[in-house]
Amino acid sequence: MGNKQTVFTHEQLEEYQVGVGVSPELAQLVWDAGSQESPQSLVCDIRLSVWVWSDWRGKRRDNPEASWFLSPQDCTFFTRKEIMRLFYRYQDLAPQLVPLDYTTCPEVKVPYELISSMPELKDNPFRQRIAQVFSQDGDGHMTLENFLDMFSVMSEMAPRDLKAYYAFKIYDFNNDDYICAWDLEQTVTRLTRGELSAEEVTLVCEKVLDEADSDHDGRLSLEDFQNMILRAPDFLSTFHIRI
């Protein structure tokens, strides 16, 4: 079964309450029945056995850091296997920086330049905004959790409202929770790469505000944006990055 001391700590387990596993009341019952160990360590044992039995095959099974990923499964839209695959993509970006052992929960951030060099993002006109929105401090440097969050929201399983929320944040360049005319100008410039003249860009921004701004305050709030997205059903399939 493996030495549970090296795989994960009791505190980690207690923190990462896993959907696949044992409920604490069951552990409580077992403990009441006279076991000498504390409920947490019992939970530890039972979870370990569940994990070993689980259908997750592959050569990474022996690696201790895999245990860390029992919990993100319930916070993202990915399965265990996909989370491990994403972890190895993340690790490949900066092999010296990212440790293979995540049981100590290291605070590691991959800098923005490496993130934006990923093939999925490198030619995207909004890659800088995407990295800023999903990074912890808004500067584009992402931890593993930020990375998983980003691809989870951009996956095809995320619901429309969640995507609309993050799309709104991406297009909101000045982070003021409203898409104003300046934000729109920035968006359109990035979309058209200088093909449109300045008057055309202004005209486009005006037209967009005309169409989507329902309370006529000169900028789009989140509700305006969501309302507009409802009229464009392609949004769900286009706001999607495959990894």
Partner 1 sequence: MLSDDQVNEIIIEVENVPSGVQRHLASSQIFLRKSTANPTFSMVSSSMTDITDCQIFSNGNDGRHNRLLRFSSLNESISQIHHSPECLGMDETCTFHETVQGQKLISSLIPMTSRDRIKAIRNQPRTMQEKRELRKIVDKEKSKQLLEANCCAQCLSSLSLAYRRSKGNLSELLNYISFWQKTFKVIGGKFGTSVLSYFSFLRWLLKFNIFSFVMNFSFIIIPQFTVAEKNTLQFTGLEFFTGAGYFRDTVMYYGFYTNSTIQHGTSGPFYNMQLAYIFTIGACLVVCFFSLLFSMAKYFRNNFINPHIYSRGIAKLVFCWDFTVTHEKAVKLKQKNLSTEIRENLSEIRQENNRLTLNQQLTQFSAHVAAWLVSTGVAAACCLAVYYLAEYNSEFLKTHRNPGAVLLLPFVVSCINLVVPRFYSMFRLVERYEVPRQEVYILLIRNILLKISIVGILCYYWLNIVALSGEECWETLIGQDIYRLLLMDFVFSLADSLLGEFLRRFIGTKFITSLSLQEFDIARNVLELIYAQTLTWLGIFFCPLLPFIQMITLFIMFYVKNISLMMNFQPPSKAWRASQMITFFIFLLFFPSFTGVLCSLAITIWRLKPSADCGPFRGLPSFIESIYSWIDTLSRRSGYLWVVWIYQNLIGSVHFFFILTLIVLIITYLYWQITEGRKIMIRLLHEQIINEGKDKMFLIEKLTKLQDMEKRANPSALILERREVEKQSPLHLEELSAAHDLRLRRSMHEENPEV
Tell me which residues in 49-88 interact with partner 1 (CB under 8 A).
54-55, 71-77, 79-82
How far apart CA 42 and CA 25 sit, in angstroms, is 11
d(CA 25, CA 20): 15
From 30-38, 58-66, 93-101, 231-239, span contacting partner 1 (CB under 8 A): 231-239
Residues 96 to 115 in contact with partner 1, rule: CB under 8 A: none
Residues whose CB is less than 8 angstroms from the CB of residue 98 and which lie 6 or more positions away in sequence, other chains included:
90, 91, 108, 110, 144
Residues 187-226 that bind partner 1 (CB under 8 A): 187-188, 191-193, 195-196, 200, 203-204, 207-208, 211-212, 214-219, 222-223, 225
In angstroms, what is the minimal distance from the CB of 12 to partner 1? Answer: 11
Nearer to partner 1, 3 or 118 (CB): 118
**1 Cβ contact partners less than 8 Å away, ≥ 6 residues apart:** 45, 48, 49, 52
The answer to whether 103 touches 65, Cβ cutoff 8 Å, is yes
Out of 91, 132, 146, 186, point to the residue binding partner 1 (CB under 8 A).
Answer: 146
- Residue 186 interacts with partner 1 (CB under 8 A)? no
* Amino acid identity for residue 131 in this structure: A
